[in-house]
Amino acid sequence: MTVQGQDAWVIAGLGVVTADLPQGNDLAGVMRHNANKGCRTCKIDKGSWSAHNQDIITTLRYHHITDEEISKISHESVVSRRDQLCTEYGLRSSSSILDKLKWEKHLQTPQDVYHATAGKIGRLLKLTCELFSREGEDDFIKIWKNFEIPKKWSRLPNPISHYNSFMMSDLLRLAMIMPFLLNQFLKESSLKRNEAVTIQQRINASRISLVPKNIIACWVHVAKTMRTVFNREFTSDSYEELQQCLEEEFSILPKVFVSFVNLPNIHVNMHLLMHAKTFGTLTNTQVGIKEMVHHIFKGMVPKTNCKNIDLDLLKRYNTLFAIRHLADGGIDPRFNRSCTGFTNSNFGQLFLNWYVTEDKYSIEEQAQDNDDTKVVSPVNFISNISLKKRMSKQERDSLLLTLHNFKTELFLSYVDMKFEAALMNVSTSWYKLASYTFEEESGILSKVYLHLGDFITIYEEDHEESYAVIKGIFRHKSNNDKYYAFIVVDWFEDTGAEHSVLKCPLYRLQATGNKWRRIFPITVIDNFQKVHFIHNCNSERCQLPNHDTTNRIWIKNNFYFTAV
């Protein structure tokens, strides 16, 4: 081709084509999933998709063998015989549009882990909710309304009455907390009798009381597998963990729920390890951008939680692409001239950065009392520190009573900031909210919001990662007449024990005392969205949303991660 008046060779390569299950089959030239051999990675019959002890090596599809099979099909002149060959090989009669390229059609069309995982969770959610008795539904709704989800999440719709309103990212978030929700209430009377008996027979349980534990175990395995497949980095040990998680999930879901037998979303567990090793991670081949667009659209749809949102999203897609077409100078066939109004400078200014939505927390902050006093950051990677919503005098005084070494710890915080001295007789101001801009090593800027009660990660050289909960946020005026921000935390202590059902580690929230330092500069926070804790409610004294303060045991949510 000619580039700037000179002839040039342009060489391009196809890396990976990721698509949902049916569309991916079309691109690979394989029949859809209702065919006998409808997997684009292997030739296992669909009646054996969830069977154990499959010889994957001998059943995989290989590119050179597929080429030979396609050649046989294309050279067969008899239509009936050609159809028989298509059925025998599980291949389409027409070739894929990508077959004109040099590519490996089976390795380069991995199953999309995002759609496969979300679809699997959606089915499990529907099956679980259909098992609930009236008592079970009432108990679930009570727990659901008071459960402490991460503050950065939008409130999820009721999964029983608004199942169709769940997007894929909603399903991923639900899977992170569903084991904990069920563990707080699920018992034999929470389930319909006939359904519970059916599951008891499927799992060969001696007692029907074991059914609730198996249902929770299904969610534990699904959540653990989900967390593992979305790892951003893999080591040799990580690949072994991935294989174990996939095999355990592959085993338990069809065993408990008949609807998972030979389900394509379960069958792909056989191939995800290969895809992870081929492309480094599974997140390198996931399709999540579409879900981000859905997030934006969902915020525009009125009363989303009361309807199926597919038509609303389709309407907005059509509108968006129509505007894009006209803005790019396209012509509407209903008119005999181009729509110049869409291409003038005013229209361009109107749609500048149209895809950016205002963060919900900025609205929350604007509603709070403003404080114009500037808070200075002692480090370069944190800027624009803002403190909002003052604590009441009662809240502040109650917290100060627990800080027995306030001045000493504040001085140590200044030492951490490389200050040699600081005035200790200057009053402090206490707040409930803080925000700042954080610059990552890659140069990406992120807006960080902190609230009282947020769980955070603090990195210490001696103890590596440590976890804490924010109990206070305050500013203090240093001897250089500048204000600096600090936090007060309560530490979580690892008990070394594990929850018997949820398989997550148990931590003890520190009691009031002098055992650990509690005041730090706000810059000490390593990651505030990285960890999530749930109170280990195991007595009647926990009356949600209030917990039994004498029970200081918390469960670290090992299934928590940042979804799209």
Rounded Cα gap, residues 81 and 88, in angstroms: 10
Residues 276 and 148 in one domain: yes
Asked whether 210 and 159 are in contact (CB, 8 A), the reply is: no
Please check the confidence at residue 32 and state whether its pLDDT lies above 50. yes
Q: Is 29 left (phi over 0), alpha (psi -120 to 50) or beta?
A: left
CA separation, residue 564 to residues 128, 473, 532 (Å): 24, 29, 17
Give the per-residue pLDDT at 49.
Answer: 92
Up-side HSE of residue 451: CA atoms within 13 Å toward CB? 9
How many other C-beta atoms are found inside a 10 Å radius of the C-beta of residue 47?
10
Please check the confidence at residue 137 and state whether its pLDDT lies above 90. yes
Residues 39 and 146 in one domain: no
Residues 281 and 400 in one domain: no
pLDDT-derived band at 99 (thresholds 50, 70, 90) equals confident
- If one counts the domains in the chain, the total is 3
Give the per-residue pLDDT at 364.
Answer: 45
Residues 202 and 149 in one domain: yes
Q: Among 122-126, 252-256, 370-374, 395-399, which is the least confidently predicted range?
A: 370-374
Residues 89 and 218 in one domain: no
Rounded Cα gap, residues 180 and 143, in angstroms: 10
Residue where a domain terminates, one of 100, 131, 156: 100
Nearest of 397, 405, 411, 400 to residue 484 by alpha carbon: 411
Token pair belonging to 536: 């280990």
Helices and strands, counts by H and E, the chain: 18, 13
Residues 95 and 160 in one domain: no
Give 462-469 contacts, CB < 8 A, sequence gap 24+.
465/526, 466/491, 466/492, 467/491, 467/492, 467/507, 467/531, 467/533, 467/556, 468/492, 469/509, 469/533
Q: What is the largest CA-CA distance in the chain?
A: 96
Residues 164 and 211 in one domain: yes
pLDDT-derived band at 184 (thresholds 50, 70, 90) equals very high
Buried-state track 67-93, b at ≥16 Cβ within 10 A, e below 16:
eebbeebeebeeeeebeebbeebbbbe
Please check the confidence at residue 413 and state whether its pLDDT lies above 80. yes
Per-residue model confidence as pLDDT tens digits over 418-441: 887 766 666 789 999 999 998 887
Specify the amino acid at residue 4.
Answer: Q
Residue 554 lies in a domain: no
What DSSP designation does 210 have?
A: G
Task: Please give the radius of gyration of the chain, using alpha carbons only, rounded to the nearest integer.
Answer: 28
Determine the 3-state secondary structure of 454 from DSSP. Answer: coil
Residue where a domain terminates, one of 67, 100, 133: 100
Per-residue model confidence as pLDDT tens digits over 466-524: 899 999 999 998 888 889 999 999 999 999 999 999 999 999 998 766 678 899 999 88
Cα–chain center distance at 521: 30
**Overall average pLDDT of the 32-56 stretch:** 89
Asked whether 231 and 137 are in contact (CB, 8 A), the reply is: no
For 106, counting Cβ atoms within 10 Å of its Cβ (0-12 exposed, 13-18 middle, 19+ buried), the class is buried
Residue 83 lies in a domain: yes
What DSSP designation does 523 have?
A: G
pLDDT-derived band at 298 (thresholds 50, 70, 90) equals low
Partners of 546 in the β-ladder: 543
Rounded Cα gap, residues 385 and 473, in angstroms: 12
CA angle, 134 then 180 then 207, to 5°: 60
Residue 318 lies in a domain: no
Specify the amino acid at residue 185.
Answer: F
Q: What are the strands, taking DSSP E only, across 391-482?
A: 428-439, 445-451, 455-460, 464-477
Per-residue model confidence as pLDDT tens digits over 535-548: 998 767 777 777 77
Cα–chain center distance at 517: 33
Residues 29 and 132 in one domain: no
Secondary structure of 21-41 in HEC code, one letter for each residue: HHHHHHHHCECCCCCCCCCCC
Token pair belonging to 420: 């040699």
Give the per-residue pLDDT at 358.
Answer: 37
Residues 223 and 179 in one domain: yes
Residue 348 lies in a domain: no
Please check the confidence at residue 15 and state whether its pLDDT lies above 90. no
Q: Among 13-17, 266-270, 365-369, which is the least confidently predicted range?
A: 365-369
The C-alpha torsion from 130 through 132 and 134 to 139, rounded to 10°, is: -130
Secondary structure of 275-320 in HEC code, one letter for each residue: HHHHHCCCHHHCCCHHHHHHHHHHHHCCCHHHCCCHHHHHHHHHHH
Residue where a domain terminates, one of 50, 77, 100: 100
Q: Among 198-212, 306-320, 360-374, 459-473, which is the least confidently predicted range?
A: 360-374
Residue 404 sits in a domain whose CATH number is 2.30.30
Please check the confidence at residue 363 and state whether its pLDDT lies above 50. no
Per-residue model confidence as pLDDT tens digits over 323-361: 666 665 666 666 666 566 655 666 655 554 443 333 444
User: Higher pLDDT residue, 212 or 354?
Assistant: 212
Phi, psi of 463 (to 5 degrees): -120, 10
Give residue 81's domain range. Answer: 21-100
How many other C-beta atoms are found inside a 10 Å radius of the C-beta of residue 246?
22
Residues 206 and 242 in one domain: yes
CA separation, residue 430 to residues 73, 477, 511 (Å): 76, 12, 22
Residue 193 lies in a domain: yes
Per-residue model confidence as pLDDT tens digits over 437-467: 988 877 788 888 899 999 999 876 666 788 9
Q: Among 131-135, 185-189, 286-290, which is the least confidently predicted range?
A: 286-290
Please check the confidence at residue 286 and state whether its pLDDT lies above 50. yes
Average pLDDT of the chain, as a whole number: 83
Residues 265 and 120 in one domain: yes
Residue 508 lies in a domain: yes
Residue 563 lies in a domain: no
pLDDT-derived band at 7 (thresholds 50, 70, 90) equals confident
Residues 384 and 272 in one domain: no
Residue 373 lies in a domain: yes
Please check the confidence at residue 290 and state whether its pLDDT lies above 50. yes
For 353, counting Cβ atoms within 10 Å of its Cβ (0-12 exposed, 13-18 middle, 19+ buried), the class is exposed
